[in-house]
Amino acid sequence: MSTQFGDLADAPASFVIAGARMLDPSDGSDGIRDLVVLDGRIAAGSEVPNGIPRLDGRGLIVAPGLCDLHTHLREPGGEGAETIASGTRAAAHGGFTTVCAMPNTDPPLDEAARVAWVISLGRGASARVRVIAAATRGRAGETLTEVEDLAAAGAVAFSDDGAAIPTARLARTALQGLGPTGLPLIEHAEDPSLAAGTMMRAGPVATRLGLPGWPPSAELVIVQRDLALAEETGGRLHLTHLSTAAALDAVRRAKDRGVRVTCDVTPHHLSMSDAWVAGERRFTWDEPDDMAGALDAETAFDGRCRVNPPLANRDDALALLRGVADGSIDAIATDHAPHPPERTLVEFGEAAPGMIGLETAFSIGLAAVDAGCLTLAALLAALSTRPAALIGEERGLRPGAEADLVVFDPAARWRVERGALVSRSANTPLLGMTLPGVVRLTVAGGRVVFDEGMGLLV
């Protein structure tokens, strides 16, 4: 099958996909229909002019385009690992039509001109690039950035991701100061003094491996601090990559009190447990290995399993899955973190934390659906409509809307391997595994940006 990429500067597309299942979490609709797209907009089925390509959609599902709230595109400064062009192609390949670029680049995105530069590079990319600006100058955790200028330049949120705002006072000031912009502070909730020197989640696996353990309190103390500050200031708080049931419970209680808080979880914290560091390669919803035998020399201590926060224990991962299922977790966000091989194929304790996620997130979610942990509608809401709403983007398949959608084959499977990935980096422990769900078409802003054998891009 021919694989083709387009970009947002292409001409708006016109096509019909006949007989596909159309699933739209924005209005709860779900049924077999013809998808008609004319000049980049979704049209009603009756008004199809002649000469429009008509594709067989039987067995395929059409859903709103996915939106990633947490993406490291690495440009500027880390172009060896990823660029805006390669990262957005990876996004399109994975069904994402929007990525929110994190500001921990080199230099960081802490000035309006830098934000505007990334946005301008994104105009011809294969997915919409939204920018999260640094919350503090130089991400140094000392003084706030010029948030109103940054918002005017197009920032959709603020974050010092990679670290939490270091002091409660500065976090309070940030939540207050962001008020006029209406934009959220995205917090990487981790107490540096508790996390210092740790390499994986504390627990029986860390004990066995002799790796210093990260206590769940490292996340919880910052979550509780920030919830108190958001409640007091009325500021908008978004907690990214939650990894513990305790933090999720705190968020649930705060939501019940009316605190303006939202949160996301990564696909890897849902699907991979801390046992993956010891070489486990079964997803959290499957029956785990009892770990009684020897570690597998091929998979144990794989630096590609080092992430921050560290992979959770299985109980927490399953609690987070329930949070996605019941909607108390607002979004699944990839934390796509490309690294070159020399930074991950090293001693575990030397490995750069993070793994790629844009091209595997949807398939991991579909594996959870296949396992009965999530409904397809809940997965799509967490990957598309809800995260999009958090950054003010519309999603939906109603006639009249701009076509922004993903067409995928839920029954097809694919093998994760270097040659199957379009990201510049391949740092994921999923290499060699076979996952469900193949994206066949991604349409962003009315343009076909990815086509896998559908024949719209040649």
How many CA atoms lie less than 13 Å away from 320 in the CB half-sphere?
A: 33
44 φ, ψ (degrees, to nearest 5): -70, 150
Minimum CB–partner distance for residue 346 and another protein (Å)? 7
* Integer Cα distance of 423 and 421 in angstroms: 6
Among residues 456, 388, 435, 369, the alpha carbon closest in space to that of 128 is found at: 388
Among residues 145, 144, 143, 89, the alpha carbon closest in space to that of 114 is found at: 145
C-alpha triplet 181, 99, 434: angle, nearest 5° = 150
Instruction: Confirm if 441 and 407 have CB atoms less than 8 A apart.
Output: yes
Instruction: Confirm if 39 and 14 have CB atoms less than 8 A apart.
Output: yes
Q: Which residues contribute to the site for another protein (CB under 8 A)?
A: 202-204, 206-211, 213, 292-295, 297-298, 300-301, 303, 342, 345-350
Minimum CB–partner distance for residue 343 and another protein (Å)? 11
Q: Take residue 119 and report the two structure tokens written for it.
A: 């946005």
- Identify which of residues 31 and 293 has a Cβ nearer to another protein in the complex: 293
Q: Take residue 2 and report the two structure tokens written for it.
A: 């021919």
- Identify which of residues 203 and 338 has a Cβ nearer to another protein in the complex: 203
Q: How far is CA 210 from CA 10, 73, 277, in A?
A: 53, 33, 11
Residues noted as catalytic: 335
Minimum CB–partner distance for residue 297 and another protein (Å)? 5
- Per the omega criterion (within 30 degrees of 0), is the bond before 309 cis? yes
- Identify which of residues 133 and 278 has a Cβ nearer to another protein in the complex: 278
- Identify which of residues 31 and 197 has a Cβ nearer to another protein in the complex: 197
Minimum CB–partner distance for residue 168 and another protein (Å)? 24
250 φ, ψ (degrees, to nearest 5): -65, -40
Minimum CB–partner distance for residue 307 and another protein (Å)? 16
The DSSP code sequence of 354-411 is ----TTTHHHHHHHHHHTTSS-HHHHHIIIIIHHHHHTT------TTSB--EEEEEEE
Minimum CB–partner distance for residue 288 and another protein (Å)? 15
Among residues 428, 282, 113, 30, the alpha carbon closest in space to that of 131 is found at: 113
- Identify which of residues 15 and 301 has a Cβ nearer to another protein in the complex: 301
Instruction: Confirm if 301 and 348 have CB atoms less than 8 A apart.
Output: yes
* Integer Cα distance of 274 and 391 in angstroms: 31
Minimum CB–partner distance for residue 348 and another protein (Å)? 5
Count of beta carbons in the 10 Å neighbourhood of residue 265: 26
- Identify which of residues 3 and 207 has a Cβ nearer to another protein in the complex: 207
Length of the chain: 458
Minimum CB–partner distance for residue 145 and another protein (Å)? 35
- Identify which of residues 28 and 293 has a Cβ nearer to another protein in the complex: 293
* Integer Cα distance of 333 and 71 in angstroms: 8
- Identify which of residues 74 and 304 has a Cβ nearer to another protein in the complex: 304
Location of structure tokens 């627990």: 203
